[in-house]
Structure formats: structure tokens, C-alpha cells
Chain A
Amino acid sequence: MKPTVQAVDAILPQTQCGLCTYAGCQPYAQAIVENNEAINLCPPGGQETLLKLATLTGQNVQTMLTDMADKEKGLTAAVIREDECIGCTKCIQACPVDAILGTGKQMHSVIASECTGCELCVEPCPVDCIDIIDLPQRAYQPDTARQRFQARNQRLAQLQAEKSQRFQKAKLNNKTANTPTKKASINATLSARQRYIQDAVQRVKQKRQHR
């Protein structure tokens, strides 16, 4: 009998790290159930997760166990060196579970109880101020991480939808603006634009001569 996506997802560690090449734990779970994806792609889950997945899916994993022992990834967390952070928000955008608090030109801080140690924030940081530290025990709650991951995806999808809606609206407004009654004003602005560009070209030419 096929296990449910939910049951597989419940076993996965919810780091949302993407080391399995999927966009997160839930997409990987879906691939296991629906596309018979291999169950040994989760280094943070390690042997423990592999064995649980084997029981659930009925796959034989004896040959995979030593390989998994080699690639098993320990518990880690990200820490920001605050005296180097420039407040660029790149790491915040990369974090799949909203574990980094901060905004543009303000300090970014990792919330220790939320960080899954996925390391996705390390690469985007332009000043390399994020350290990955080893943890003696897990600091995050997998259930919370799952919720944060889902909530974030929903939020981003919502933002995207609003954005494209605004774009469509602007496009429509533009079309109505092109009606004959308004053409004169557009021509006026068009000649104004041409003048502006010509002036700019003139200025650059003068500058070159003076050199």
C-alpha cells in the first residue's frame, strides 16, 4: 500500500534545506510517494530517517545505510556576526522558515529556536558574516518549521499574485490612456522626452570636448 505524502513528510526533518534537490521536505515527500523517488536523499535525516522511510515504503535499504552514514549531516545552526552585518536582507529572503529577523539597513539576527541549520543563508551573504555552528541537540521544532515553511510559501504566492494584479491593472490603464482624446498630451510628452534626451547627449559631448 502506498503511504500518504503527509506520512512521509512527517518523518522528514523539516530543515527545508533542499539537499535532496527538491524545494523542501514536503515536495520531496510528494516525489517519494508519487514518483518513486529514492529515499536516501536526506543527509540531515541521516540513517534514522532512512530506516523510518524504509519501514513506511517497504524498500530495502541495507545497501544504502553505509552510504548514508558517510553523508549524514549533523545538527547545525546559523549565527550572524553582528559587527559585520550590513543589513542587506539577502539572508532573510533565502531563509525558508523565516528564522531571520531584520529589515533593510537594520541588524539581522537568527532566531535560534527557529533555525533548522539549512545553510541556505550562507551563500547569499555578500560580506560572508554568517557562521554555521554545530549543535549538541536540535534547537528547532520540526512541526513549527513545517508551519513556517508553508506560511511563508503562501505569503510569497499571495504577494506575487498581488503584484501581477497591479501590473495587469496598470497595463489596462495604459490602454485607455491611448485613446485619441489623450493623444495630444502624449505627443507633448514625447517631444519633451526627445528634447530631454537630446540635451543629455549634448551635455556628454561637451564634457568629452573639455577633457
Chain B
Amino acid sequence: MTTLQSINVEVAYARPDTQVILPVELAVGATVAEAIQLSGILQQFPEIDLQVNPVGIFSRKVVLTQVLKAGDRVEIYRPLQIDPKEARRNRASKNKT
């Protein structure tokens, strides 16, 4: 990219077996969606569906049209495996006895 005004961000995704943090250089004013597209992370992990997986910056959920700042880390999240409320109930009933 030869734009004079560019920013460096990262795009990250994590599974138990592999985790990646990909550096991306973007023009000022670029969005979260553009960073994800450019990073190539969607090709590397075909299971990611941006309609399903929420995205965020440093553990704060954001929309795909959010404009990025230098140093941001765009994160793609995965769902939980358990229902937290169900898990709490299970723990409570186990401890009762």
C-alpha cells in the first residue's frame, strides 16, 4: 500500500489448536470489515462467518463498519460451548450433596 496516511492494525482469531494474529496495513478511515477482508483470515479459517461470529476490538464488541484506529486489534470471536446459567445450576446442584 503506498498511501501516505496508513495505519497498522492486527486481525486475530483463536481456536484451541491454532491462534493467529495477522498484521494489516490500511488506509486511514478503513473499517473492521476491510481489515478482516485484507488479512486473508477468512480464507485461512473457512468456518468464520461474519454474520454469525461477533467481532470486536480488544474484547469490546464492535460493528463491522466501525472505523479503525492505529494499534487496534480486530478480534473474531467464537461461541461458548456451554450455557453459563445451565453450568451454574449444575455446579450448585453438585455442591448441595
Does B bind A? Answer: yes
Question: In residues 92-141 of chain A, which contact B (Cβ within 8 Å)?
Answer: 92, 98, 101-107, 109-114, 127
State whether A86 touches B82 (Cβ < 8 A): yes
State whether A107 touches B84 (Cβ < 8 A): no
Q: Residues of B contacting A84 with CB < 8 Å?
A: 82, 87
Q: How far is the CA of A103 from the CA of B80 in the complex (A)?
A: 11
Closest-CB distance, A117 to chain B (whole angstroms): 15
Question: Interface extent on A, as a size class?
Answer: 20 to 34
Closest-CB distance, B20 to chain A (whole angstroms): 8
Question: In residues 135-157 of chain A, which contact B (Cβ within 8 Å)?
Answer: 151, 155
State whether B54 touches A155 (Cβ < 8 A): no
Residue ID in chain B nearest A151 by CB atoms: B71
- Is A42 an interface residue when CB atoms closer than 8 A count as contact? no
- Is A87 an interface residue when CB atoms closer than 8 A count as contact? yes
Q: Mark B53-80, 1 if CB is under 8 A from A, else 0.
A: 0101011110000000001010101111
- Is A76 an interface residue when CB atoms closer than 8 A count as contact? no
B59 touches which one: A83, A89, A111 (CB < 8 A)?
A: A89
Q: Residues of A contacting B91 with CB < 8 Å?
A: 127
Contacts A86-B84, A101-B14, A114-B21 hold; do A107 and B59 have CB atoms under 8 A apart? Answer: no
State whether A106 touches B80 (Cβ < 8 A): yes
Question: Interface extent on B, as a size class?
Answer: 20 to 34
Main secondary structure of the interface of A (DSSP, over half): loop
State whether B80 touches A112 (Cβ < 8 A): no
Q: How far is the CA of A112 from the CA of B18 in the complex (A)?
A: 8
Q: How far is the CA of A106 from the CA of B91 in the complex (A)?
A: 20
State whether A92 touches B59 (Cβ < 8 A): yes
- Is A34 an interface residue when CB atoms closer than 8 A count as contact? no
Residue of A86, A105, A112 most packed against chain B (CB within 10 A): A86
Which residues in B have some Cβ–Cβ distance to A below 8 Å?
Answer: 12-16, 19, 21, 54, 56, 58-61, 71, 73, 75, 77-82, 84, 87-88, 91
Which residues in A have some Cβ–Cβ distance to B below 8 Å?
Answer: 82-89, 92, 98, 101-107, 109-114, 127, 151, 155
Q: List 22 A-B contacts (CB under 8 A).
A: A82-B16, A85-B80, A87-B84, A88-B84, A101-B12, A101-B75, A101-B77, A102-B59, A102-B77, A103-B60, A103-B75, A104-B61, A106-B78, A106-B79, A107-B78, A107-B79, A107-B81, A111-B21, A112-B19, A113-B19, A113-B21, A127-B87
